[in-house]
Amino acid sequence: MTSADGGVDVDELTVRFGDVEALTDVSLSIDDGEFFTLVGPSGCGKTTLLRTVAGLEAPTAGRVRIDGRDATDEPPEERGVGVVFQNYALFPHMTARENVAYGLQFHDLPEPDDQRVTELLDLVDLTSVADREPDQLSGGQKQRIALARALAPKPDVLLLDEPLSALDASLRKRLRVQIRSIQRDLDITTVYVTHDQAEALAISDRVAVVRDGRIEQVGTPEGVYREPATRFVAEFVGDNNVFDGVVTGTGDRISVDGTATLPLPAETDLSTGASVTVSVRPEAISVQDRDGAQADGHGSTVDERGPGAAVTRSATVETVEYLGDAYRVHCRWDDRPITVKTDSASPPEGAVSLGFAPDAIHVLSNGDRPAATGGER
């Protein structure tokens, strides 16, 4: 699968550093004008992938195509990419204006350099600090100057390597909105690296979850969150309750740890005795006082009145976290933890009844890794 002209394609990319394989057979297709995010834990290979697209690392195997052409052997300055690094990489002896203008000396643009720099400083709302040096700027201002400098030569692709990680939480939220707005205004293909799952979900057209040098799943933020392909994605992207079980003799339920049962979604096609892993998001579970709840021998009940009927579980509240707009409630069900998120006016406590719809249960891939090359759009 390849992108349209203006996008980025990596085909069967492998990168080794001595005996360490940082990327293994990675293939991705990023569309022209798309905001595409690589998300994963530290050391998973996402920055190596970005640097390989930029030409700052050489692949051991595989190809990189940019704007429809093979750029694998091109030097960084000929690839038509702009890079924003985590540490800003501003020249300390230059003003903000001079930093933005620096990259223009290597490119011929139709408008004068001064005009282009002024346009970019205005784009990032920093015209008022144009004559200040980096040590006179805040962290957020430095990052926006670095962004303007990367955009100065009108690159085909913008690459951002954890650009907000050094900033405080509130500033990160404001700047990520501004970066997304600028990207949309310029309609520039953008590849963004972050370890922050919330950030990835908030700003991306599509997300690739990276694990141990491989792509675990590619999809829209909604698709990756609501339908994780593997246990790793389910547990890494947001809170989740994950249960391992075995399909029971009825074929439409699973036995969890041999002590309790959960229903399977109606469309699930698994044979009796098959091992299966399922997940239920905390916000899909309601919590209320246990008054009137009838528990089975394992502290669990299931409403069997027909398809779509509620699943209920008796549990005990252990700890509660106040999140401002909701409570994250950590409960104990059948000697296993289960997490609930509720926007109730007061925190639940003691013995409670948990309820969720059968379609809130998501069946995860039983394989260690699914095939992931292009992803849903």
329 beta partners: 320, 340
Give the span between the Cα atoms of 209 and 232, in whole angstroms. Answer: 9
Give the span between the Cα atoms of 111 and 120, in whole angstroms. Answer: 13
Extents of the domains making up the chain: 8-232, 239-363
CB within 8 Å of 43: residues ≥ 6 apart: none
> Residue 313 to residues 341, 342, 344: CA-CA distances in angstroms?
15, 16, 18
Q: What is the topology classification, in CATH, of domain 8-232?
A: Rossmann fold (3.40.50)
Give the span between the Cα atoms of 278 and 243, in whole angstroms. Answer: 5
Give the span between the Cα atoms of 133 and 143, in whole angstroms. Answer: 13
Q: Look at residues 137, 122, 140 and name the one whose alpha carbon lies nearest to residue 185.
A: 122
* Structural Rg of the chain based on CA atoms: 25
**What is the full per-residue pLDDT of the chain (377 aa) written as tens digits?**
455 456 999 999 999 999 999 999 999 999 999 999 999 999 999 999 999 999 999 999 999 999 999 999 999 989 999 999 888 889 999 999 999 998 787 666 555 578 889 999 999 999 999 999 999 999 999 999 999 999 998 999 999 999 998 888 888 899 999 999 999 999 999 999 999 999 999 999 999 999 999 999 999 999 999 999 999 999 999 999 999 999 987 778 888 877 788 888 877 888 888 899 999 999 999 998 876 443 333 344 444 333 444 788 899 999 999 999 999 999 999 888 999 999 988 999 999 999 998 889 999 975 454 444 445 55
Threshold 0.75, pTM exceeds? yes
At the top level of CATH, the class of 239-363 is mainly beta
Where is 82: in which H helix or E strand?
Answer: strand 81-84
